[in-house]
Structure 1
Amino acid sequence: MPRSRRTQISIEDTPYYHCCSRVVRRAFLCGNDSFSGKNYDHRRGWVESLIMKLERVFAIDVAAFAVMSNHLHVILRVDIDTANNWTDREVLLQWHQLFKGDDLTHRFVKGNLVTAEEISLLKHAVATYRSRLCDISWFMRCLNEPIARRANKEDNCTGRFWEGRFKSQALLDDAALLTCMAYVDLNPIRAKMADTPTQSDHTSIQLRIKAAIKGEQPKNLLPFNENERNANHKDIPFSVKDYLTLVAETGRIISNGKRGVMSEKSAELLTKMHIPSDNWLKLTTEFGQLFRGPVGTLDELTCYCEHLEKRRRHFSWCCQYLKAN
């Protein structure tokens, strides 16, 4: 039986979550549909544009994403601090970028006076919207629903477009984050949609490569920290150059279909994350099969389960693949 989302999210343990949505009825987000003879490649652009828009509205950062032919992956970081630091007016301005609001919220944003009786209603609305703007479920809802409506309209049909609720899993440590990001970024190569990360359209890795060529990082993606993680933990704790090298080398091995030798830099990054190098290829090609639930060390998984009052540590056997002894 599916678990409610509140039993899977524990910001106390981690702000990072890997989310995945899959379509139904043999529908396609991109590519050539052999059943209908149509090409839906343009829909990948819909999804990417909307992800970038939602990143600007929500107090949620996008660490990685990949839009595939019949599913999408996105790794999100919940930024509670940013949401809490927004003023009431800023919360409403953010919310109004996606939803109409009502007369009361618009009058407040414009600086018009509200009555004493309306203040409690306004405070309740602001608290509700503030909570939603740092909620993964609302982020995915605002991503999936517009795409479903637009695709159904284009297909001239009604009914469910997505398979069901999006799947989410907590990434409990830096090793889990690194592994999952590489798994997401390498999706097009594993699916034979691209030979290299540079050719992987509508993915975060392509955006990062293009920005790196200019010596920059994409503004709409969670940045890497070249040195040490900052005090607020608002960055990805590895070098962007090391990460791009690691993904490129792993992609080359997957594309060639045979084992290759990792560079010293890539090996150092894996060692720093305490990830067994012998397991790396398995992790990046079978992540979805190996980890059906939260990802991290056994100790972190134990804490996560305790905070969510889970009686059992499901999938604890998977921890052996992620950490070296």
Structure 2
Amino acid sequence: MARTKRFKINGDVGYYHVISRTVGGEFLLGDVEKEKLLSVIKQFNSLYFVNIIGYCIMDNHFHLLVKTLSVEDIDNVELKERLSRHNKNIPDEITESEIIKYKEKLTDISEYVKSIKMTFSRWYNKKNNRKGYFWGDRFKSVLVESGESLLNMLAYIDLNPVRANICSKPEEYRWCSFSDRLAKSNDDFLSFEGTEIDRIEDYISFIYGVGKVERKSYKGAEKGKISEDSRPEISLWQHRIRYFSDTLVIGSKGFIEYAYKTFEDKITKKERRAHKIPIDLPHNLYSIRRLNSI
């Protein structure tokens, strides 16, 4: 079987939508498992230089929306502090070449997701006296442009349980970043970095709106609730859109052209087009890959 194609901006800032499924798509993630997986994600968030923008943990898969930091922006003192918190055997003196290797590893999206999945699967197998793989194929990732593209991706991820008919409102689902933010229980775990918004009120307005941020404060948002009389209809993100999970790059036309130049060794000349995503938005989104259905 061919390996899942993946585009990574190694050593530099990048935004990624990560999706990973259980082996065979089995529904192995119950309430206890979801809580454990979330704790593992938080555990490695304090080691890796990766910021969590959004997440959603479902019964047979999980989504992460993350920002990887640049190697050049990592402070050596903070690097050593993170390493010592997670590994008591780290020596006091680390050579320059070792520092470079650690920085490269701890900003790598593949290493980050690998650590999460391996740690969780070991816990699950031990808990259930089980052997074998827990996760299915390689995780998928979509490189996302910051700004409106990233904000739309975040809303799409948070509305997973609504699309799955688990709930009618995203704040009712315990294991997604939307309800986490409303509950104010994330302890700076979540960030709005790259989305061009910084207030939960603006995000509520967006996710319940029609694709643009209305500068409107919803009643009860400060208390983690949204009143019925101030809640408009949920937007078109109630419907599954394959481009948000099955393509390789999403963004403006210029961002797609940048990706073609950056990853030219991985893309055939025949593929080099910016494909407009056929969904109704105030701004156009483009993909590096055309899909047969949205």
Shorter-chain TM-score bucket reads: 0.7 to 0.9
In structure 1, what is the equivalent of residue 97 of structure 2? 124
The partner residue of 1:238 within 176, 197, 200 is: 197
The partner residue of 1:316 within 257, 261, 274 is: 274
Q: Is 1:54–2:44 an aligned residue pair?
A: yes
Q: Greater helix percent: which structure?
A: 1
Q: Could you say if the C-alpha distance between residues 300 and 4 of structure 1 is closer, same or farther in structure 2, counting changes exceeding 3 Å?
A: same
Q: Is 1:286–2:246 an aligned residue pair?
A: no
Q: Report the residue type matching 1:302 in the other structure.
A: E
Q: Could you say if the C-alpha distance between residues 315 and 286 of structure 1 is closer, same or farther in structure 2, counting changes exceeding 3 Å?
A: farther
Looking at structure 2, the residues matched to 267 and 294 of structure 1 have their Cα atoms a distance apart, in angstroms, of 29
In the TM superposition, what whole-angstrom CA distance separates every residue of 1:227-282 from its partner, at most 9, and x where no partner exists?
xxxxxxx55312531211222x26xxxxxxxxxxx5995499xxxxxxxxxxx61x
With normalisation by structure 2, the TM-score equals 0.76
Looking at structure 2, the residues matched to 295 and 263 of structure 1 have their Cα atoms a distance apart, in angstroms, of 16
Name stretches of at least 5 consecutive residues in structure 2 with no aligned partner.
Answer: 217-234, 286-294
Q: Percent of counterpart pairs with the same letter?
A: 22
State the 1:218 CA deviation: 4.8
- Is residue 13–residue 304 contact of structure 1 (8 Å, CA) maintained in 2? no
Looking at structure 2, the residues matched to 264 and 163 of structure 1 have their Cα atoms a distance apart, in angstroms, of 36
In structure 1, what is the equivalent of residue 189 of structure 2? 220
State the 1:190 CA deviation: 1.2
Greater alpha carbon shift after TM alignment, 167-176 vs 308-317: 308-317
- Is residue 54–residue 154 contact of structure 2 (8 Å, CA) maintained in 1? yes
- Is residue 10–residue 308 contact of structure 1 (8 Å, CA) maintained in 2? no
Q: Is 1:93–2:74 an aligned residue pair?
A: no
Name stretches of at least 5 consecutive residues in structure 1 with no aligned partner.
Answer: 31-39, 109-118, 224-233, 251-261, 269-279
Q: Is 1:148–2:121 an aligned residue pair?
A: yes
In structure 2, what is the equivalent of residue 306 of structure 1? 261
Q: Could you say if the C-alpha distance between residues 93 and 263 of structure 1 is closer, same or farther in structure 2, counting changes exceeding 3 Å?
A: closer
State the 1:127 CA deviation: 1.4
Matches of residues 173-188 of structure 1 in structure 2 within 5 Å?
Answer: 173-188=146-161
- Is residue 66–residue 184 contact of structure 1 (8 Å, CA) maintained in 2? yes
SS in 1 for 2:91: helix
Matches of residues 106-117 of structure 1 in structure 2 within 5 Å?
Answer: 106-108=91-93
- Is residue 297–residue 319 contact of structure 1 (8 Å, CA) maintained in 2? no
Greater alpha carbon shift after TM alignment, 286-295 vs 169-178: 286-295
- Is residue 16–residue 77 contact of structure 1 (8 Å, CA) maintained in 2? yes
State the 1:64 CA deviation: 0.1
Q: Report the residue type matching 1:316 in the other structure.
A: A
State the 1:158 CA deviation: 1.2
Bigger Rg over Cα: 1
With normalisation by structure 1, the TM-score equals 0.70
SS in 1 for 2:239: helix
Q: Report the residue type matching 2:256 in the other structure.
A: L
